[in-house]
Amino acid sequence: MQHRNLGGMFDVSAIGLGCMSLSGAYGGALDVDGAADLLRAAYDRGITFFDTAEVYGPFLNEIQVGKGLGALRDKVTVATKFGFNITDPKNPVSNGFDSRPEHIREVVDASLERLGFDHIDLLYQHRPDPAVPIEDVAGTVGDLIREGKVLAFGLSESDAPTIRRAHAVQKVTALQSEYSLWTRDIEAEILPTLRELGIGLVPFSPLGRGFLTGQLALDTIEQGDFRYKLARFQNEAAAKNQRLVENIKRIAAAKGITAAQLALAWVLHQGDDIVPIPGTKNVGRIEENVAAADVTLTPAELAEIADAVPAEDVVGGRYWS
């Protein structure tokens, strides 16, 4: 597996693993031992960058990650997140955000206990909290860095002005945002801001929550699956978006690779400061994704892909509209 430098701070595998699905976001959760086996299999195949959060499960995901990677602690980089007011485990984001300094500290201590680690490598604010100035958030994480509980500060789904304000208080190492062939909103303003400031990009859902693989059977998505109500997966929208996926499959077949590998390779080719974190519960998919790091796309192929999947042709919003 090739490695990349993330935000001037971490040497990580060019492709990481998003762990959200392990605790049931896309259907049934793996038990702790099953998740641990999968995480170690990912490491054995070259992945050294893993992404979790307290809200995944909630709480279960960090336990899974800690169990799976504890023995590999000095060989892997693990990111987790704070920022939600989790009072209802069955609907953990229903009570909105909470990035108050005292809550950040509570979450970090609880996350360290669940993970079984003595520090967090990369700590993200999961979503901006309109009730708390970003300067207070950055300052609190800065204090945690000085105390040794955290190594680096990250943001998730923040806009360019917020990134700049945070970075002025505490260096931001990475921004996590959705980025793929069918979600390219960050290209106009956010990606240039990251590059100006030396901040790495960690794209989540680089395979469009599985849609861009061309292997997702929409009629098998159940109500417990996070994608069940997402706009892009609904009826007419899904049918129109499937035409774009067929274009990806056609180009991939001509190159002798899978649609997933083409889509991931496209993301990787957008810059060596980008480390995507596709998620899966399947070792075979991990192997397929890892192989995408070795795919080379020529300028002509990149142009062909862009023409075949125009961002403006994607139907439906990223979430429920």
Copy the structure tokens of residue 127.
């979503």
The 10 Å CB-count burial string (b at 16+, else e) for 181-199 is bbbbebeeebbebbeebeb
Residue 56 bears catalytic tag = yes
Phi/psi-derived region of residue 316, left when phi > 0, alpha when psi is between -120 and 50, beta in every other case: left
Please give the span between the terminal C-alpha atoms of the chain, in angstroms, as a whole number: 37
For the chain, list the strands marked E by DSSP: 3-6, 10-13, 17-18, 49-51, 77-82, 120-125, 150-156, 172-178, 200-204
Given the structure tokens 């083409």, which residue do they identify?
Answer: 262
Q: Which of 56, 124, 228, 319 is catalytic?
A: 56
Helix axes 190-197, 160-169, angle to 10 degrees: 20
Q: What is the maximum alpha-carbon separation in the chain? A: 54
* Residues tagged active-site: 56
